[in-house]
Amino acid sequence: MPTTVSDALIITIDGPAGTGKSTVAAGLARRLGLARLDTGAMYRTVALIAVRAQIDPADTPALLAALAAHELYFDCTVDPPVMSLDGEDVEPHIRSARIGEVVSEIAAVPEIRRAMVHMQQATARAHPRLVSEGRDQGSVVFPDAQVRFYLTADPNERVRRRVAQLEADGASVDAAKVAAEIDHRDALDAGRDTSPLRCPDGAVEVDTTGMSIDDVIDALERTVRETVGSAC
């Protein structure tokens, strides 16, 4: 049976890096049978376009021209979802240190944000039962989402998690450098003029310090089921 508007269920998860958002969003989407949107992957793909074309992130006209020349597509119909650029699955390229260095600067450009928000809302129209994860999903992109979460964690724990993740990916890691990068990214994401990182009004704030990923998914699932009942 086709999905109707009345079946729509949007859940947003926002928060800074290292709070486990992506893993939690994936787990929650699986448990509830919802599609998942990783909006950070979209900004990372724009950063990949800029890096490949050697565009200065401060050169907004060049960034916009490059964005217009490519096709970005987020495929929610597969698990895990696939972010593609002109048909290429870019997942192997968008998590690199180089992309991490430029993505926050690119995500601060209002015109780029406008284009991404448009794409995110179009994705939700096509997949109205969705967990969407990012920095502005509950505050700007889906302010009417049925359930909005904001995840936080103690800064030291966020660094530990990020180091563990990088080491699991086979990287050799300097924890002090990781801490400095997280601080820098937080400052850019929370300090920008357009859609800065904020706890959305009415969001359920979850401090994930000391919680396992499964504990966090359990807590969010409970809240969703209590809030929307039979809608999930």
Token representation of residue 210: 């000391």
At its nearest, how many Å lie between ligand DC and the CB of residue 137? 6
Q: How far is the CB of 123 from ligand DC (least distance, A)?
A: 12
Q: Which pairing describes strands 9-14 and 147-152: parallel, antiparallel, or unpaired?
A: parallel
Question: Among 39-47, 142-150, 160-168, 209-217, which window interacts with ligand DC (CB under 6 A)?
Answer: 39-47
Bridge partners (DSSP) of residue 37 are 132
Q: Of 107, 130, 151, 153, which lies in the binding site for ligand DC, with binding defined by CB under 6 A? A: 107
Q: Is 103 in the site for ligand DC (CB under 6 A)?
A: yes
Q: Does 19 bind ligand DC (CB under 6 A)?
A: no
Cβ proximity to ligand DC: between 104 and 123 the closer is: 104
**Binding of residue 138 to ligand DC (CB under 6 A):** no
Which residue sits closest to ligand DC, CB atoms considered? 40
The residue among 36 and 135 lying less far from ligand DC, judged by its C-beta, is 135
Asked if residue 163 binds ligand DC (CB under 6 A), the reply is no
Interface with ligand DC (CB under 6 A), residue total 14
43 binds ligand DC (CB under 6 A): yes
In the 3-class helix/strand/coil scheme, how is the chain assigned residue by residue? CCCCHHHCEEEEEECCCCCCHHHHHHHHHHHHCCEEEEHHHHHHHHHHHHHHCCCCCCCHHHHHHHHHCCCEEEECCCCCCEEEECCEECHHHHCCHHHHHHHHHHHCCHHHHHHHHHHHHHHHHHCCEEEEEECCHHHHHCCCCCEEEEEECCHHHHHHHHHHHHHHCCCCCCHHHHHHHHHHHHHHHHHCCCCCCCCCCCCEEEECCCCCHHHHHHHHHHHHHHHHHHHC
Show contacts with ligand DC in window 185-224 (CB under 6 A).
185, 189
Interface with ligand DC includes 90 (CB under 6 A)? no
Q: How far is the CB of 61 from ligand DC (least distance, A)?
A: 20
Q: CA–CA distance from 46 to each of 39, 43, 225 (Å)?
A: 11, 5, 35
- Closest approach of Cβ 117 to ligand DC, in Å? 8
Least CB distance from residue 53 to ligand DC, whole Å?
19
Residues that bind ligand DC in the complex, under the rule CB under 6 A: 17, 39-40, 43-44, 103-104, 107, 134-137, 185, 189
